[in-house]
Amino acid sequence: MKPEWKTILPLLHDTHCHVNLYPDPDGVREQIAIDCMQVVHVTTSPAEYAECAAAKGATVELAPGLIPQDIGELAPQLD
């Protein structure tokens, strides 16, 4: 990483990231913490939210989300 990036990384806030879709989500969360970035991990279903809740970290916030096209399929999970 270029040195100039290290000075601005703590200022970066990714407000819509799907951490669990990376090949190594634990490694991504670890790097986010090392770089002191703030990330909002947006999930795409209630089940995914429940799975990811345990893995959120100090610099990764978790947000529930739904893909509009999937509402009909996911409606039973919304109880």
Q: How far is residue 66's CA from residue 60's CA, in Å, rounded to a whole number? A: 19
- Residue 42: both structure tokens together: 């947006």
Q: How far is residue 32's CA from residue 38's CA, in Å, rounded to a whole number? A: 7
Per-residue pLDDT of the chain (79 residues; tens, 9 = 90+): 566 666 766 667 788 888 888 999 889 888 888 887 888 889 888 888 888 887 766 678 888 888 888 888 877 877 6
Read off the pTM.
Answer: 0.67
Residues β-bridged to residue 60: 39
Residues β-bridged to residue 41: 17, 62
Cα Rg, the chain, nearest whole Å: 14
Please list, in sequence order, all residues whose beta carbon lies within 8 angstroms of the beta carbon of residue 8, skipping any fewer than 6 positions away.
Answer: none
